Amino acid sequence: MSHAYVVGQMTVKNPEKWAQYRGQVLATLTPWHGELVFRGRQVQALAGACPHPDIVVIRFPTLADAAAWHNSPAYQALIPLRQEAAEVVLLTYEA
């Protein structure tokens, strides 16, 4: 069975606002069966360069669930806070 993954790469600009965002975002995943796989901080680039030191990976059952989560009113309401808190690139992958 394939899954969809949302991968976020970020650079935190405001740690306090980032903590507020992180404290609210997990609840938005539940209706779409999203699961936090991991959060981490880049230690070393083995090849190439990534401009953002932090990463998050979220698994969803399908790409449609990932899109529905991102477009949901609950998550959309958090985007202004996210934009104040960090520079973020969000990507979807299917595996």
Q: Number of structural domains, the chain? A: 1
Global pTM?
0.93
- Percent of the chain scoring above 70 in pLDDT: 99
Q: 66: domain CATH number?
A: 3.30.70.100
pLDDT tens digits, 12-24: 999 999 999 999 9
Q: Which domain holds residue 38?
A: 4-94
More confident residue, 36 or 50: 36
Give the SS3 label for residue 24.
helix
Residues 6+ apart with CB under 8 A from 33: 60, 61, 65
pLDDT at 10: 98
pLDDT level of residue 83 (50, 70, 90 thresholds): very high
